[in-house]
Amino acid sequence: MRTVRINRTALTRNPLAALSGLLAGFAALTVAELVSAAVRPEASPVTAVGGAAIDRTPTGVKDWAIRTFGENDKIVLQLGILATLALFAVAVGLLALRHRRTGSAAVLVFGAVGTAAAVSRPDSTGFTDGLPSLTGAVAGAVLLYVLVGRLTAERADERGEEGGWDRRGFLIAATAAAAASTAAGAVGRTLNDRGARDAIASRDAVRLPAPASPARPIPAGARPRVRGISPFTTPNDKFYRVDTALVIPKVDANTWRLRIHGEGVRRDLEFSYQDLLNRPLIEREITLCCVSNEVGGPYIGHARWIGVRLADLLKEAGVKPPSRGGKADQIIARSVDGMTLGTPVEDVMDGRDAMLALGMNGEPLPFVHGFPVRMLVPGLYGYVSACKWIEDIELTTFDAYDAYWVKRNWARKAPIKTQSRIDTPKPFGRPEAGTVMVAGVAWAQHRGIEKVEIRVDEGPWKPAQLADQATVDTWRQWTYPWKATPGSHTLTVRATDGTGETQTEERTKTVPDGASGWHSVVVTVD
Ligand SMILES: Nc1nc2c(c(=O)[nH]1)N[C@H]1C(S)=C(S)[C@@H](COP(=O)(O)O)O[C@H]1N2
Ligand SMILES: [Mo]
């Protein structure tokens, strides 16, 4: 009789122990969120652990994640962390039912992992970054101890028999814990959002002045009217985003400063946002592209940028390019979130329109694209040039320092490879027989595009019609009226850049310095 009772008790207590673990985990995260509002939102455990995981993920896996999940990669990572935490919480709850203290100790161990991750982030502001994980873990450990205490409290049950447990006590404690955690999480979120308010207000207050050197207008002939082709200028909210930030940095332009210093700098310089706005601004059409863009991929966009010519600032600091005897050959740009990007000094100072951009398509930079200031160097992939949320420019050498991505197997130097993409028809499209407009984009920033050719199946290469070239730093659109005959066909495109070099057929991976190969699309003509 007695054994049966105990088993039945175990049947109800195990799920409740699992629930206790989940409640303890929830309390840990929400208390951490609340405390992170007093420290910094980036110090909350899921963000810190996620950031540390991103830094430690092997390049191949990261590339796979970008390919597979695209711009949702960060959401997938965070869901993964939460799912792992939930599994762990259930296990710890079951453990605590048997060994109450060990269960709570396990929660503290997890808290230690979060604390270590937060403190060791490159943008960590010190030991205070560990406080959210630490206090969260203590709250979770104590709660688990209390809840499991109710589950294991020897109580006579309603019928006065031995071996029962404190149902009422458990119910009250669990409900109170759930309510308090929800409240802590909600307050934490609200406070964290409020912290971003100054940054949002500072962006709202920006009025971009007219540029001293306006961009040449894009010729009408640069935009062929073909349905399905990428718009020449990518709207800001459609512009691709690639970065490692789990929380988009919200920087207050009023307190932001940029420092220029390092090897070969005669005078350290510091600028406020207003200092930069007050300078003569240049406005330029520049197409930006990610080294993780596969052949035919979406990680490319075009915008009109407004900003300060970077070479002017470097000259004021007394910097000389290596070709004129300068000591530093590399710029390390650092962002507020601890990212580092390395750019050749020579490229920045060779006369091209390398800039610190303040505006994008007529508005201050959107937060995701680097407000208040980002770097741009026409002709170079983003990871070696386009530092968002920049706050520091250090002159150094390629021998002395490897930037973030270089430490992860990407090339030190990465000029953009000549590439072309068929935008329409779409892969596996079913156009009608007759004249089908094939159209797309080609790019070889800073060299320009001289020729685009199309091949149908294994036929001869035929020149596509080139739209006008806006500048050598922009992509170029092209069209090809194709006399489509019924059946399955493969369309292939290749481009030739302004130096006369034709895009190579050889397929390479994105690592280490960008994908190469021809883009092709298979369609069935009805
Ligand atoms: N601070 C910071 N800047 C960054 C990155 C980053 O992860 N952090 N990613 C770089 C990469 S790899 C690219 S391709 C461009 C992308 O810029 P976008 O997101 O505005 O398109 O930003 C660059 N600047
Ligand atoms: Mo990139």
* pLDDT at residue 377 is higher than 90: yes
Q: What is the pTM of this model?
A: 0.89
Q: Which of 44-48, 412-416, 467-471 has the lowest mean pLDDT?
A: 44-48
244 ligand 1 Cβ < 6 A: yes
CA of residue 381 to ligand 2 center, whole Å? 6
- Please say whether the beta carbons of 250 and 366 come within 8 A: no
CA angle 246, 251, 252 (to 5 degrees): 155
Say what the pLDDT of residue 64 is: 85
How far is ligand 2, taken at its centre, from the CA of residue 386, in Å? 9
Per-residue pLDDT reduced to its tens digit, 133-190: 999 999 999 999 999 999 988 766 556 655 678 889 999 999 999 999 999 999 999 9
pLDDT tens for 187-238 read 999 988 887 899 999 999 999 999 999 999 999 999 999 999 999 999 999 9
At 4, the pLDDT band (50, 70, 90 cuts) reads very low
Place of tokens 């090809």: 480
Ligand 1 centroid–CA 85 distance in Å is: 29
Cis geometry, peptide bond prior to residue 209 (ω within 30 degrees of 0): no
Round to whole Å and give the CA distance between 425 and 521. 8
**φ, ψ dihedrals at 375, nearest 5°:** -100, 150
Helix (H) or strand (E) holding 33: helix 2-38
Closest residue (by CA) to atom 19 of ligand 1?
241
- Does residue 110 have its Cβ closer than 6 Å to ligand 1? no
Average pLDDT over residues 380-388: 98
- Of ligand 1's atoms, which has the minimum distance to the CA of residue 405? 12
Give the position, in ligand 1's atom list, of the atom nearest the Cα of 369. Answer: 20
Predicted confidence (pLDDT) at residue 445 exceeds the cutoff of 70? yes
Average pLDDT over residues 109-116: 94
In this predicted structure, the answer to whether residue 473 has a pLDDT above a threshold of 50 is yes
Q: How many CB atoms lie within 10 A of CB 499?
A: 10
Ligand 1 centroid from CA 375, angstroms: 10
Would you say the CB of residue 62 lies under 6 angstroms from ligand 1?
Answer: no
Does residue 145's CB lie within 6 angstroms of at least one atom of ligand 1?
no
Q: How high is the pLDDT of residue 162?
A: 58
- pLDDT on residue 2: 44
For 254-275, the pLDDT digits (tens) are 999 999 999 999 999 999 999 9
pLDDT surpasses 50 at 458: yes
Q: What is the 3-state secondary structure (H, E, C) of 77-119?
A: HHHHHHHHHHHHHHHHHHHHHHCHHHHHHHHHHHHHHHHHHHH
**To test ligand 1's pocket by mutation, which of 238, 332, 383 has the most ligand atoms within 8 angstroms of CB?**
383
Nearest CA to ligand 1 atom 18: 241
How far, in Å, from the CA of 278 to the mean position of ligand 1?
Answer: 26
Note the pLDDT of residue 63.
Answer: 81
Mutate to test the pocket of ligand 1, among 57, 242, 292, 374 (most ligand atoms within 8 A of CB): 242
- In tens, the pLDDT along 357-369 reads 999 999 999 999 9
- Is 382's C-beta closer than 6 angstroms to any atom of ligand 1? yes
| Ligand 1 binding pocket includes 239 (Cβ within 6 Å) | yes
Cis? peptide before 280, omega within 30° of 0: no
CA of 288 to the centre of ligand 2 (A): 9
For residue 132, the model assigns a pLDDT of 96
The percentage of the chain sitting over the pLDDT mark of 90, rounded to a whole number, equals 82
